[in-house]
Structure 1
Amino acid sequence: MLGVEDAGRCVMVEYLVIGAGPAGLQMGRFLHRAGRDYVILEAAQQPAAFFRRFPRHRVLGTDDNSLFEGVPFSRYSKRSFPNADDLVRYLEDFARPLNIRYNTPVSDIAQFRARHVIIATGNRPHTPEIPGVELAETYATASTDPTEYAGKRVLIIGRGHSAFETADNIAATARVTHTVGRTVQRIVKDGNGFRATIDGSGELRYDKVIVCAGFRRDTSLDASHAHVLAGDSIKAIRHAARALHRTLEAEHHGVPWPHRKLRNRPDALAATIATRAHAIPQGLADVVVPQGQHALLYDEMPLRRKNGFVVTSTQVRHYRKDELLGVERRLHRKPLERFFSQQLAVPCIA
């Protein structure tokens, strides 16, 4: 069990979730609905601390920002590229019924005795290993006022969303804007400006250099006994959280993994898998287990399951007790029907 020191008393809970961003909130909602004893610890004084700072120009890259078991995000914004403040309001409302302790930073999970620890600390800006990169400004600190770049030559290091939103913001005022990826070899100070050595272009001079190299997951609290919950989008996060919660429920509370029955025929399996495969998030798999006249479909399981037909967004693998029997990468009905026919050793249905 977990011991959390709170004003001189020890509070015991079964599940400790670290972080009140989308991942921690989604896991908290699952635990709350299941009636489990849990607490979410958050270093900031409010939820969604990451999205209060990022993206810097306050425009999200997608409108798919809903979490499971809450109202849809579309009630907060119907834009294709919503304002980040709309997501903050959405996550604030999502967090209200949950047991969250704010202003509670965690520096070492070893200080807690927990039955289940879930690390949902999210991302932080990434700084590439380039000699002299410490001389540059960063995506987190550079000014968002376009007038500050008027008439200047600006080098932006990065090829992702943060780099291109920064470039778009200053393009109308900057004299020159170069956006490059991994080709920067060195940065040195040159008077009030900089000289950057770029593979294929030689040494070029800039007035400003901004590192916009994206984000990496915060691994500072990782431990072998803890569960890590992360994803590169809110869609990926919500599905990963559901898979982890279902795993914990099955392993520790005797709650069977949700499943449905299919007819154990090549045409029926092919029709279902052709529809499902492209909706399966990265890192998860549907698992189909034949049982006589029927087959059981377990959706979005962790990839470690290797029995039956394991379906990802790119392929179907057939296992028998961890032994690989066959692979099909054409996820269309006819190829899948032939594959299931061969693997089940029954003729195709015309």
Structure 2
Amino acid sequence: MVTTTDYLVIGAGPAGLQLAYFLQRAGRDYLVVEAGPSAGSFFTVFPRHRQLISINKPHTGIDDPEFNLRMDWNSLLSDDEDLLFTKYTERYFPDAGDMVRYLADYAERLELNIRYNAKVVEVSRGKHFRVIDHNGEVYEAPTLVVATGPAKPYLPDIPGIDLVELYSTVTVDPKDFTGQRVLIIGKGNSAFETADNLVETAGVIHVAGPTSVRFAWQTHYVGHLRAVNNNFLDTYQLKSQNAILDGDIVGVRKDGDKFIASVSFSRADEVVKDIPYDRVIACTGFRFDTSIFAENCTPELVIKGPLPGTDQRMAVHERAWPVLRGHGDAGPRLQEVHERVHPRLPLHREGAAPNPGTQEPRHAVAACLLRGRRERADGRDSAACQP
């Protein structure tokens, strides 16, 4: 039995749910397939220490809903004014469990068409896209949207990397590291989140990577190291036993019950030093998973591999944005991401003429919704917002 639909969306995270809402609102035939048992299953695991880095600000002191949405990094758009993340918690940096609860409510209350426990294992392309899930169910659609984000843990090509523990599975109980020497590979939010968690119990913590730490407050990019995760830097700058190592990890090996990490220091003429540790943890981020795609429809990856490029010929579109939800950052919506890459190139259906509505200026949909809310509050109806 083959399930056919006009629009097939893989993933019921924030991107998949948002797209499902607009497809449903426009009366389109669509289906979302989700690997987990509920919406937002990624957030049941990540971030590991449960604190999101996406800002939640329910109290702005301003009544303008458009302004308030700018301060709200987590809410999805809908006509239901109660479906705002700011109504779920007042914490500035919320718990990931609140995001799970919010996304589940969003999917249920809007009655979105989602098939759960359907992990996609194969995507191929003939006349239409053909998708197979792990239950053997087959789906076909002329338009496919992969809305999973960069959700596959990435491991760098380092000899001995198979010996180390992973951010995705390592214990988060600080007591398990009491008095131990710990090496954390990586210099992003997951690495510093992990280091912060171990400051009180670990004997020595080294955070290592080939480049200098990039701070969000310097770069103005929310995916770089956020202040909420950089308390560990105090312990380094104030000359405790912890350190930031600028250099490549060129190898990891076992020596009895210890690990030996070979570090090529970038600021010491590439001097290589062997340093012993009790534990080594890889916190090296996420990448877009291309393993499900057949050769004739595999997206080309860009930016050193984590993200797929935008190729109109394939009609495969991905809401993949660095740390976008990967470590709790809501990031831009799917249409915004697409328009940042190709401002005048609309998301399109294969074989169909471009929809003039998709060529409206950026944020047109959001502005339409907000205008509709204001007009309903004034007793008017926004006919211009109807599909």
Q: What TM-score do you get using the length of structure 1 for normalisation?
A: 0.67
| Equivalent residue, structure 1, for 2:348 | 248
Match of 1:193 among 231, 255, 258: 258
Q: What percentage of aligned pairs have identical amino acids?
A: 42
Unaligned runs of 5+ residues in structure 2 are: 56-72, 125-129, 131-138, 211-247, 266-271, 298-313, 325-329, 365-387
Residues 30-39 or 214-223, more deviating: 214-223
**CA shift for structure 1 position 68:** 2.2
User: Does the 8 Å contact 2:346/2:355 carry over to 1?
Assistant: no
Paired residues in the alignment total 255
| Equivalent residue, structure 2, for 1:209 | 280
**CA shift for structure 1 position 12:** 2.7
1:85 aligns with 2:97: yes
1:116 aligns with 2:143: yes
User: Does the 8 Å contact 2:160/2:253 carry over to 1?
Assistant: yes
User: Does the 8 Å contact 1:15/1:114 carry over to 2?
Assistant: yes
Change over 3 Å in CA distance of 1:92–1:241 after alignment to 2: farther
User: Does the 8 Å contact 2:346/2:354 carry over to 1?
Assistant: no
Pair member with larger Rg: 1
Structure 1 SS opposite 2:194: helix
**CA shift for structure 1 position 22:** 1.4
| Equivalent residue, structure 2, for 1:34 | 26
User: Does the 8 Å contact 1:18/1:40 carry over to 2?
Assistant: yes
1:64-213 correspondence to structure 2 within 5 Å: 64-69=73-78, 71-96=83-108, 97-110=111-124, 111=130, 112-122=139-149, 123-182=151-210, 183-200=248-265, 202-213=273-284
Amino acid at match of 1:162: S
CA distance in 2, matches of 1:89, 1:241: 25
**CA shift for structure 1 position 153:** 0.2
**CA shift for structure 1 position 241:** 6.9
CA distance in 2, matches of 1:129, 1:66: 37
CA distance in 2, matches of 1:235, 1:48: 15
Render the CA deviation track for 1:237-296: whole Å, top value 9, x for unaligned.
Answer: 35547859963389657453464xxxxxxxxxxxxxxxxxxxxxxxxxxxxxxxxxxxxx
CA distance in 2, matches of 1:65, 1:217: 22
| Equivalent residue, structure 1, for 2:47 | 55
| Equivalent residue, structure 1, for 2:291 | 220
CA distance in 2, matches of 1:218, 1:78: 34
CA distance in 1, matches of 2:34, 2:353: 25
User: Does the 8 Å contact 1:230/1:240 carry over to 2?
Assistant: no
Structure 1 SS opposite 2:362: strand
Unaligned runs of 5+ residues in structure 1 are: 260-297, 302-350
Change over 3 Å in CA distance of 1:33–1:253 after alignment to 2: farther
Runs (4+) of structure 1 moved beyond 3 Å?
Answer: 237-255
Change over 3 Å in CA distance of 1:49–1:15 after alignment to 2: same
Render the CA deviation track for 1:214-248: whole Å, top value 9, x for unaligned.
Answer: 11122233523422232232222355478599633
Render the CA deviation track for 1:111-167: whole Å, top value 9, x for unaligned.
Answer: 443111111122121111111010000001111010110010000001011100100
Structure 2 SS opposite 1:256: helix
CA distance in 1, matches of 2:346, 2:17: 16
Change over 3 Å in CA distance of 1:235–1:50 after alignment to 2: same
CA distance in 2, matches of 1:102, 1:206: 42
Render the CA deviation track for 1:304-329: whole Å, top value 9, x for unaligned.
Answer: xxxxxxxxxxxxxxxxxxxxxxxxxx
Change over 3 Å in CA distance of 1:140–1:216 after alignment to 2: same
| Equivalent residue, structure 2, for 1:299 | 362
CA distance in 2, matches of 1:11, 1:214: 35
Greater relative contact order (Cα < 8 A, sep 6+): 2
CA distance in 2, matches of 1:230, 1:29: 19
Amino acid at match of 2:116: Y
User: Does the 8 Å contact 1:55/1:162 carry over to 2?
Assistant: yes
User: Does the 8 Å contact 2:44/2:100 carry over to 1?
Assistant: yes
Render the CA deviation track for 1:35-74: whole Å, top value 9, x for unaligned.
Answer: 1000001121111111110000000012211222262211
Amino acid at match of 2:142: R
User: Does the 8 Å contact 2:260/2:276 carry over to 1?
Assistant: yes
User: Does the 8 Å contact 1:20/1:41 carry over to 2?
Assistant: yes
Amino acid at match of 1:52: T
| Structure showing the higher strand proportion among its residues | 1
User: Does the 8 Å contact 1:230/1:237 carry over to 2?
Assistant: no
